[in-house]
């Protein structure tokens, strides 16, 4: 296929500058698609991402490489782009690789318009975000599972996120601390229910030592100021909540009156 020639004046457009420099030399997965949705050029990084050769991609409709359930959506969006509609700077699309794997890609779009009979063209940049999306979904599933599980415990249980904010209180914890989950959610635990006189089996702990111990898993006692300024001596046991990759999602704290 002959290279696309663009008028020199059009190089003021950053998209044309990229094309003029040659998409083969840009360190991002790029596709150049004509006004009918046919792939005119695919750079080596795009080919490596999807597992196809340049020859296998060039001359094929863009949606041939999109997940089946998103083909129509892809065609509709492409048509809207050319008509000046739905001009979101970036969006996500699921692609099917040559080995039948699915990738979730963050797509950025630039429309190249010139005065030739062949234009306009669309320049598509792809970034594989599959791992990030799946990790976020996995963390969400774990959080929902934890919420359901800890609500069922008879022992007062509080879940904190990695910033020390309260995520969940089960019914027993609400009764013990005097705060409902709706009121406590999102609040910094140490500010809502201040802790003092913190002790472990090795003796008294400073606030910093306590926070470090809680994050690693800890048991001991503390005086906790509950709603209305009522001080209660509690036995506390904490465990970090981690996902399958060892990423700490939060801290589970079990509270029991001494």
Contact indicator for 89, 81 with CB cutoff of 8 Å: no
In this prediction, what percent of the chain has a pLDDT beyond 90?
15
Q: Render pLDDT for 107-126 as a digit per residue (tens, 0 to 9).
A: 888 777 665 545 677 888 88
- Domain assignment of residue 3, yes or no: no
Whichever domain contains 215, its CATH number is: 3.30.450.20
| pTM to 2 decimal places | 0.47
- Domain assignment of residue 162, yes or no: yes
What mean pLDDT do residues 213-225 have? 75
Rounded Cα distance between 82 and 80, Å, is 5
Q: Render pLDDT for 133-176 as a digit per residue (tens, 0 to 9).
A: 777 766 676 666 666 666 656 788 888 877 788 888 888 999 99
Dihedral (CA of 97, 103, 108, 111) sign: positive
Q: Render pLDDT for 58-99 as a digit per residue (tens, 0 to 9).
A: 889 999 999 888 888 888 888 888 777 766 656 788 898 888
Statement to judge: residues 153 and 244 lie in one domain: yes
Statement to judge: residues 197 and 218 lie in one domain: yes
Rounded Cα distance between 235 and 222, Å, is 7
Rounded Cα distance between 249 and 142, Å, is 9
Rounded Cα distance between 161 and 187, Å, is 10
The boundaries of the domain holding residue 16 are 8-128
- Domain assignment of residue 1, yes or no: no
Statement to judge: residues 63 and 145 lie in one domain: no
Statement to judge: residues 27 and 83 lie in one domain: yes
Statement to judge: residues 247 and 139 lie in one domain: yes
Last residue of a domain, one of 128, 162, 185: 128
Contact indicator for 61, 37 with CB cutoff of 8 Å: yes
- Domain assignment of residue 26, yes or no: yes
Last residue of a domain, one of 81, 96, 128: 128
Last residue of a domain, one of 128, 159, 188: 128
- Burial profile 19-46: b = 16 or more Cβ within 10 angstroms, e = fewer: beeebeeeeebbbbbbeebebbbbbebb
Question: How many structural domains does the chain have?
Answer: 2
- Domain assignment of residue 206, yes or no: yes
Helix intervals (H) in 124-229: 130-151, 171-177, 181-184, 189-192, 207-216
- Domain assignment of residue 71, yes or no: yes
- Domain assignment of residue 156, yes or no: yes
């Amino acid at each position: 296929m002959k290279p696309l020639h663009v008028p020199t004046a059009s190089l003021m457009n950053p998209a044309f500058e990229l094309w003029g420099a040659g998409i083969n030399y840009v360190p991002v997965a790029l596709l150049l698609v004509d006004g009918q949705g046919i792939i005119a050029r695919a750079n080596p990084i795009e080919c490596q991402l999807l597992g196809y050769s340049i020859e296998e991609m060039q001359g094929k409709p863009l949606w041939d490489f999109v997940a089946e359930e998103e083909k129509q959506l892809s065609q509709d969006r492409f048509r809207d782009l050319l008509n000046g509609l739905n001009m979101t700077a970036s969006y996500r699309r699921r692609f099917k690789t040559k080995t039948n794997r699915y990738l979730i890609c963050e797509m950025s779009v630039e429309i190249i318009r010139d005065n030739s009979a062949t234009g306009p063209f669309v320049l598509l940049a792809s970034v594989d975000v599959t791992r990030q999306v799946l990790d976020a979904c996995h963390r969400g599933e774990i959080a929902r599972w934890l919420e359901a599980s800890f609500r069922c415990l008879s022992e007062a249980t509080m879940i904190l996120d990695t910033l020390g904010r309260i995520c969940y209180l089960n019914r027993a914890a609400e009764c013990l601390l005097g705060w409902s989950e709706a009121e406590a959610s999102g609040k910094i635990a140490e500010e809502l229910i201040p802790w003092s006189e913190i002790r472990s089996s090795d003796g008294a702990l400073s606030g910093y030592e306590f926070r470090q111990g809680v994050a690693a898993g800890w048991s001991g006692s503390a005086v906790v100021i509950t709603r209305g300024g009522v001080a209660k001596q509690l036995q506390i046991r904490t465990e970090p909540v981690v996902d399958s990759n060892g990423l700490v999602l939060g801290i589970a704290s079990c509270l029991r009156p001494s």
